[in-house]
Copies of this chain bind each other. A is one copy, B any other.
Amino acid sequence: MNLKNILILAVALTHPPSTFALWPIPRSLQTGTSFVKLASNFDIENQVTNAPADLLDAIQRTKTLLATDKLQRLAVGRGLNDSTAVGKAQSLSRLTISLLPGHTVARSIAQEAVQPIGQRSEGYSLSVPSTGAAATLTANSTLGLFRGLTTFGQLWYDLGGTTYSFQAPVVITNDSPAYPYRGLMLDTARNFFTVSDIKRTLDAMSWVKMSMFHWHVTDSQSFPLEIPNFPEISSKGAYSTQQVYSSADVQDIVSYAGARGIDVLVEIDTPGHSGSISASHPEHIACPQSDPWSDFAGEPPSGQLRLASQATTNFTANFISAIAKTLPSKLFSTGGDEINTNCYAHDASTQADLKSSGRTLEQALNVFTQATHKALLDIGKTPVVWEEMALEHQVSLSNETIVMVWISSQNAAAVAKKNLRIVHGPSDYFYLDCGAGEWLGNDPTGNSWCDPFKTWQKAYTFDPLANITAQQAPLVLGGQQLLWTEQSSPENLDSIVWPRAASSAEVFWTGAVLPDGTARNVGSALPRLHDIRYRMVKRGVRAIALQPEWCAIRPNVCNA
């Protein structure tokens, strides 16, 4: 044995040659060292009485993925060393899925996915014996069964047409998420994305058990959302008539998401970030496309709803209500970020309204927000807002309001002090768009405002409870990574999002502690993240390489 072999052996002994690659890793997980393979007649047997269609569809999709993933193990030889063990392995002929006793009335996955946040039943138990005896998946709800099917679909590798797993028996008991809100935000206003792009994103989200699609659908650049009774807003405010999500598209997206365990949180940002409404309703917009834009908005173009106008307030409450009531989600975001006061200072109409009502701008904002939130509360929806509404303005928010922290991770504590529920989306950890340079023109040396690039590692180290007391902890609903699309389009959607956005999916599902009792850490995460990335590619999502393939098939050998 020469020096080279000694070194390789040393690496092999200190680092297991491959990893059981579940993402997010279950909170409870026991594995063995046996191989098991899928029988040629393998089937998933549904034992749920009156199973909803979306559960049956999910079973069918899982069976399809088992046949089509054809992912080879990320190990030197890509599984060839498993040949003997696979040949001798027992054959698994069945996975049975059933609801636990007392849970026989099956709501659809989509119905479960839109239960009030915090009341969703996502837990499941899964057992995959090594003996060839049937695997079993149980849960209290169809949503839990769906999460379990997702886990089951990640257990398998391909070797010359045989689908096998190598750490049987697998026993997962009551795996359920640490936080109910595990999301991704996509901005479809700065650049447009097709329904197909969104569905592909929802698929990938479901593969890592994300629960929330935060759809920042409109902004000052464009208004691509058709709203019932307000068709002019999108027909005039979208980039083109082809770049509009019709009501049918919205229902299609919402249904597709629901069937994948994902609740769609639609945001129509108000009163700022609404300049695109000026194309149809100039009477409701202050400072549309003003010059220089930097005096009137955070980015071009400017334009804000005339919050002090009763007519504008009614208009806003009405279109919010009109769209929200078509959506199954209990949540709806009215935005509320980056309100530019100079815009209103220079808007004669707003100044007149303030004068006649005797209100300050802040008081008018409170009235405006109360009205839009009342429109939501009246139809049983919970308002969601950006952090400024809680921290920078004098707005009375109902206790149920959910606040999204974005400016800095440091700001979550202040929201908690106000006893409001929190979704973490801080730009210093979770902004997928940072670090790709200045997008504003005529700036030869500029970098992005939120440099540097937010790596998957940075996101993975996020602590949802930093500076939060134990008493406040229940306020933390979870968090999400976000893609603002100044420099993104369908062309780089997959590559800028995946696999990075899987980081927060594990942060908020698994929590701080891995199933073996150790702390969550990037070292043990990387091999598993490689695995889900390669699996995503097999499934048609263009997730990027995290390392040279040489490293991907040699866990921990390419460490810093």
Q: Does A102 sit within 8 A of B, measured CB to CB?
A: no
A: number of interface residues (CB 8 Å): 80
- Interface digits, A470-512 against B, CB 8 Å rule (1 contact, 0 not)? 0000000000000001111111101110000000000000000
CA distance A517 to B399 in the complex (A): 64
Smallest beta-carbon distance A400→chain B, Å:
33
Q: Which residues of B contact A191 (CB under 8 A)?
A: 545, 548-549
Count of chain copies: 2
Smallest beta-carbon distance A451→chain B, Å:
6
* Selected contact of A290 from candidates B7, B278, B438, B485, CB within 8 Å: B7
Q: Does A447 sit within 8 A of B, measured CB to CB?
A: yes
* Selected contact of A291 from candidates B7, B438, B448, B546, CB within 8 Å: B7
Smallest beta-carbon distance A518→chain B, Å:
14
Interface set, chain A 508-557, CB cutoff 8 A to B: 521-523, 526, 537, 542-551, 556-557
CA distance A135 to B239 in the complex (A): 35
Q: Does A1 sit within 8 A of B, measured CB to CB?
A: no
* Selected contact of A442 from candidates B192, B442, B456, B523, CB within 8 Å: B523
Q: Report the stretch among A110-118, A310-318, A401-409, A457-465 that lies at the interface.
A: A457-465
Q: Does A228 sit within 8 A of B, measured CB to CB?
A: no
CA distance A289 to B3 in the complex (A): 10
Q: Which residues of B contact A495 (CB under 8 A)?
A: 491-492, 495-496
Q: Which 6 A-B pairs have the closest CB atoms?
A: A437-B455, A492-B495, A491-B542, A489-B545, A190-B548, A440-B560
Asked if B487 and A545 make an inter-chain contact with CB atoms under 8 angstroms apart, the answer reads yes
Sample of 19 A–B contacts (CB below 8 Å): A7-B289, A11-B291, A190-B548, A221-B550, A221-B551, A293-B558, A300-B550, A301-B550, A301-B557, A436-B455, A437-B452, A437-B455, A437-B457, A441-B556, A443-B522, A444-B458, A444-B460, A447-B452, A487-B547
Q: Which residues of B contact A248 (CB under 8 A)?
A: none
CA distance A445 to B440 in the complex (A): 28
CA distance A371 to B551 in the complex (A): 33
Q: Does A30 sit within 8 A of B, measured CB to CB?
A: no
Q: Does A132 sit within 8 A of B, measured CB to CB?
A: no
CA distance A240 to B154 in the complex (A): 23
Q: Which residues of B contact A222 (CB under 8 A)?
A: 548-550
CA distance A457 to B301 in the complex (A): 22
Asked if B491 and A558 make an inter-chain contact with CB atoms under 8 angstroms apart, the answer reads no
Asked if A551 and B441 make an inter-chain contact with CB atoms under 8 angstroms apart, the answer reads yes
Check A446/B560 contact, CB under 8 A, given A437-B456, A492-B492: yes
Check A547/B461 contact, CB under 8 A, given A4-B290, A558-B440: no
Smallest beta-carbon distance A282→chain B, Å:
7
* Selected contact of A453 from candidates B435, B442, B489, CB within 8 Å: B435
Interface set, chain A 211-235, CB cutoff 8 A to B: 220-222
Q: Does A355 sit within 8 A of B, measured CB to CB?
A: no
- Interface digits, A52-71 against B, CB 8 Å rule (1 contact, 0 not)? 00000000000000000000
Smallest beta-carbon distance A439→chain B, Å:
5
CA distance A558 to B437 in the complex (A): 15
The residue on B at minimum CB distance from A496 is B495
CA distance A239 to B74 in the complex (A): 12
- Interface digits, A3-16 against B, CB 8 Å rule (1 contact, 0 not)? 11001101100000
* Selected contact of A440 from candidates B240, B278, B488, B559, CB within 8 Å: B559
Smallest beta-carbon distance A448→chain B, Å:
8
Asked if B453 and A438 make an inter-chain contact with CB atoms under 8 angstroms apart, the answer reads no
Asked if A486 and B547 make an inter-chain contact with CB atoms under 8 angstroms apart, the answer reads yes
Contacts A438-B560, A490-B542 known; list 7 others, CB within 8 Å.
Answer: A221-B549, A293-B557, A435-B452, A440-B559, A444-B457, A489-B545, A492-B544
The residue on B at minimum CB distance from A240 is B78
CA distance A240 to B80 in the complex (A): 12
Asked if B439 and A457 make an inter-chain contact with CB atoms under 8 angstroms apart, the answer reads no
Q: Does A288 sit within 8 A of B, measured CB to CB?
A: yes
Asked if A491 and B494 make an inter-chain contact with CB atoms under 8 angstroms apart, the answer reads yes
The residue on B at minimum CB distance from A491 is B542
Smallest beta-carbon distance A280→chain B, Å:
14
Interface set, chain A 1-53, CB cutoff 8 A to B: 3-4, 7-8, 10-11
The residue on B at minimum CB distance from A14 is B291
